[in-house]
A and B are shown apart, each in its own frame.
Chain A
Amino acid sequence: MTLRQLLRALLPALLLALATAATAAPNPDEILDDPALEARARALSAELRCVVCQNESIDDSGAPLARDMRRLVRERLVAGDSDAEVVDFLVARYGDFVRLRPPVRGSTLLLWASPLILVGLGGIGVWLYLRGRRDDQAAAPAPLSPEEQAALDRLLADRSRS
């Protein structure tokens, strides 16, 4: 199967996935009347982890607890909370785990720095490799010892004779 055929075969599935991703939404009875508040609720919900399913946001999850959390988020927004206050409210009860994006602080520094550290280590490795190769090419071969030179001369003489 060529790449083009493969892509053609997969395209409908891809489009379907995109379409469902775009239409994932809270249940109609949860949606707030105020579109601005609802937009904030959706954005917040996408950042909050469903503690039942653990790798889904509450916006994506169908678990009853996620629904409760979505309703809670909307209630707090309607009551006038800022986005940060809503997140803090849930973090106070569920810990940082409820945030899909962990905060930058002492205990998570290694997590956040790990991409930089890995790229740095890789960079050092590449640099060492390239330097080694350049040295190999640049280094002139050691001159022949008198014995080697004599052996070479002898071989060349043999060859020209035959």
Chain B
Amino acid sequence: MRRLLYVLPAVLVAALAFTFAIGLRDRDPSALPSALIDRPLPALDLPAVEGVDLPGWQTADLHGEVMLVNVFASWCPPCRVEHPVLTRLTEVHGVPLIGVNYKDAPEAAAAFLVELGNPYRKIGGDFEGRAGLELGISGVPETFIVDADGHIRFRHAGPVLPEHVEQVFLPLLRELRG
């Protein structure tokens, strides 16, 4: 009994180390769970961005197709990084890409799309950042996979990189498109 008491601190330390190891393993502590998974895309009504040759959009317009909703801004460097990846997703895999242009200057957004190309089908301007709050974003860029019923099925915070496409986006898109 007494001997048991002596090893107790060592056991406690080991248990603590185990807990920490599990907590730290493969886990991005800044990744937040999204409250919107499996919920309908919030009702948004975003005007076209001046100088961008695409219509704005309303959530009600978007039903009937699996698509990506991407929050981006010309002032956001990671948005440049993910731009070719998103372009490839639309061109090679035919996924419609719907843009939310977040707190951007219209002329800067237009120049960004002229410079890098425009993979978007529609782009709505979120000049005040209210749509960002509705979508529960914590930064730019963020990308949502929305199913044909208009429900958010996946949220990706940060730039979409090729490995995310291979590991997460394509499998889920395949599943959702049947």
On A, residues with C-beta under 8 Å from B are 51-52, 54, 64-65, 68-69, 72, 91-95, 97
Q: Which of B58-66, B86-94, B108-116, B134-142 contacts A (4 or more CB under 8 A)?
A: B134-142
Instruction: Please determine whether B134 and A93 come into contact, CB atoms closer than 8 angstroms.
Output: yes
Instruction: Please determine whether B134 and A97 come into contact, CB atoms closer than 8 angstroms.
Output: no
How many residue pairs between the two chains, A and B, have CB atoms under 8 Å in the bound complex? 40
Alpha-carbon distance A65/B73, docked complex (angstroms):
14
Alpha-carbon distance A91/B137, docked complex (angstroms):
13
- Chain B nearest Cβ from A65, distance in angstroms: 7
- Chain B nearest Cβ from A102, distance in angstroms: 13
Alpha-carbon distance A69/B36, docked complex (angstroms):
17
Chain A residues with Cβ below 8 Å from B35 are 91-95
Alpha-carbon distance A126/B151, docked complex (angstroms):
55
A-contact 0/1 string along B21-37, CB 8 Å cutoff? 00000000010111110
15 contacts between A and B (CB under 8 A): A51-B32, A54-B30, A65-B138, A68-B129, A68-B130, A68-B132, A68-B133, A72-B133, A91-B35, A93-B35, A93-B36, A93-B134, A93-B135, A95-B136, A97-B32
Instruction: Please determine whether B139 and A94 come into contact, CB atoms closer than 8 angstroms.
Output: no
- Chain A nearest Cβ from B130, distance in angstroms: 7
- Chain A nearest Cβ from B20, distance in angstroms: 16
- Chain A nearest Cβ from B157, distance in angstroms: 10
Alpha-carbon distance A131/B138, docked complex (angstroms):
54
Extra contacts besides A51-B138, A72-B133 (5): CB < 8 Å: A65-B137, A68-B130, A69-B133, A94-B35, A97-B33
Alpha-carbon distance A92/B42, docked complex (angstroms):
11
Instruction: Please determine whether B138 and A52 come into contact, CB atoms closer than 8 angstroms.
Output: yes
Chain A residue at minimum C-beta to C-beta distance from B138: A51
Instruction: Please determine whether B30 and A93 come into contact, CB atoms closer than 8 angstroms.
Output: no
Q: Which of B35, B103, B130, B139 has the most CB of A within 10 A?
A: B35
Alpha-carbon distance A72/B139, docked complex (angstroms):
17
Q: Which of A64, A91, A95 has the most CB of B within 10 A?
A: A95
Instruction: Please determine whether A94 and B129 come into contact, CB atoms closer than 8 angstroms.
Output: no
- Chain A nearest Cβ from B155, distance in angstroms: 11
Chain B residues with Cβ below 8 Å from A93 are 35-36, 42, 133-136
- Check A95/B129 contact, CB under 8 A, given A52-B139, A65-B139: no
Alpha-carbon distance A94/B36, docked complex (angstroms):
8
- Chain B nearest Cβ from A3, distance in angstroms: 32
Alpha-carbon distance A52/B129, docked complex (angstroms):
14
Alpha-carbon distance A64/B75, docked complex (angstroms):
14
Q: Which B residues between 99 and 113 are near A, CB-CB below 8 angstroms? A: 103
Alpha-carbon distance A52/B128, docked complex (angstroms):
17
Alpha-carbon distance A95/B138, docked complex (angstroms):
12
- Chain A nearest Cβ from B1, distance in angstroms: 9
Alpha-carbon distance A52/B137, docked complex (angstroms):
9
